[in-house]
Amino acid sequence: MSAPALAVESLVLFVAMPLAYRFSPWPIPALPCLWIAALYAYWQLRRDSTFPQSQLWNAAPLPSQLPMILGIFLVSAVALWLAVHIFAPELLFNLIKTHPRLWALIMVLYPVLSVYPQGILYRSFLMHRYAEFFPSRLGLILASAVAFAFMHLIFRNPLAIGLTFLGGLLFAWRYDATSSLLTSSLEHTLYGCWLFTLGLGNYFYHGRVRLQ
């Protein structure tokens, strides 16, 4: 695909689609939109002979990366807990308290239905497909994080955008360092599940049930 065509494709996937969803006058379920985009990305990656297909899973780096992943997560988890405890104590663990079954369902389904397709789209696809537009790996990691954060404008709050930008940097860096979508997605899962558990789910959730 030519550079102009790739540029148009990236604008459609990572700018036009989130904006169309954000400003749509009709309620649209988020997950089907994500899966449509992720399946397109997966299809393109599968037919691309220059993309190492093993990167879509690749469990080999996980054992060596796990101590670092858990260490960073532990510090971040405590910091997030402290922030909610100080600034919004009424939210703390409210999902478990009010909708324990929904919380359990999210813990099980979130990694499969949300985290992995996001990983395909914003890490495996974006960081391979558009690598030629960025002179350095750092620029590519930043682009992945910006696109990932921009998508979260659909939730209509700055907290979702800010936190996902920081998370996007970490997840893209992990993917770039390991060539393992499994490893990056596991890290993404830890943070996402913790945010829902803490009581910040309303900032990252579109569904029929209010989380507080």
Q: Tell me: the pLDDT tens digits for 44-98?
A: 999 999 999 999 999 999 999 999 999 999 999 999 999 999 999 999 999 999 9
When the pLDDT of each residue in the chain is averaged and rounded to a whole number, the result is: 95
Contact 198, 80 (CB under 8 A): yes
What is the pTM assigned to this prediction?
0.95
Per cent of the chain over pLDDT 90 is 93
pLDDT score for 1: 85
Which of the four pLDDT bands, split at 50, 70 and 90, describes residue 208?
very low
Which of the four pLDDT bands, split at 50, 70 and 90, describes residue 207?
low
> Could you identify the residue written with the tokens 């807990």?
81
User: What residues contact 170, with CB distance under 8 A and at least 6 apart?
Assistant: 72, 187
Q: Tell me: the pLDDT tens digits for 100-148?
A: 999 999 999 999 999 999 999 999 999 999 999 998 999 999 999 999 9
pLDDT score for 209: 44
Domain boundaries, the chain: 3-203
* pLDDT score of 211 more than 70: no
Amino acid at residue number 168: G
* Tokens read off for 108: 């099980």
